[in-house]
Structure 1
């Protein structure tokens, strides 16, 4: 279906940052899907069984932020890996589900690509 590539769902409300993140995912060798907010992300997760990792922003419009979304994903889709980024919040990784990684923005592309590779190894 997707020629064996791992699939990463980017959840980010800023079109510019989302585009950058999608480019990053593709250049790291993964298939990229994108969502504007948590609600759209959940719809995509419900419609596809091949998503390996969700890379989400914390601050987003809609019914839940990235932290709530990551907990929701961990409960409903336990195997999905989580990468969370935020420009305003310096989060304790303890407020995130087990096995997620947190990055503050602006993040280093190499650090993100590296974390994705490690999470999906």
Structure 2
């Protein structure tokens, strides 16, 4: 069930996942929730997007993404070069989730398999925190 879209969402989410059968449904769900979504199948594609798109509000990536950079190196690059971009990593290995804690926003990390509703709720809360910080 999709959340009520009472407040229009004007955020762009970059979804990085090499498994097309995982990436497409979460990207479609986030679009249905009102987000602008850009898809990348690897860290290489994600890096190109991050370098050329002016606004990426959230980087949502598999912790074990394909490409020259692993998800943690991609997150570190994003932190350094796009500090306003929120980062959410999802993965199944416990060690990956612990390592992600040093790079991601406060709060729990998403474990795979995840529910699309949980991803959208987490992203919405991150953006709400950012809006609150900017208003202060």
Give the TM-score category using the shorter length. Answer: 0.7 to 0.9
CA distance in structure 1 between the partners assigned to 2:40 and 2:102 by the alignment:
20
Contact 2:88 2:104 (C-alpha < 8 Å) held by counterparts:
no
Greater gyration radius = 2
Moved more, 102-111 or 11-20: 102-111
Equivalent position SS for 1:17? helix
Q: 1:53 to 1:106 in 2, by over 3 A?
A: same
TM-score (norm: length of structure 1):
0.87
Pick one of 88, 96, 99 that aligns with 2:102.
96
How much is the aligned-residue C-alpha RMSD, in angstroms? 1.9
Q: What is aligned with 2:124?
A: 117
CA distance in structure 2 between the partners assigned to 1:24 and 1:58 by the alignment:
20
Q: What is aligned with 1:106?
A: 113
2:84 is the counterpart of 1:79:
yes
Contact 2:15 2:59 (C-alpha < 8 Å) held by counterparts:
yes
TM-score (norm: length of structure 2):
0.78
Equivalent position SS for 2:123? helix
- Runs (4+) off by over 3 Å: 93-96
Larger relative strand fraction = 1
Q: 1:98 to 1:61 in 2, by over 3 A?
A: closer
Q: What is aligned with 2:24?
A: 19
Figure out how many residues of one structure are paired with residues of the other and give that number. 118
5+ unaligned residues in a row in structure 2: which ranges?
1-7, 129-136
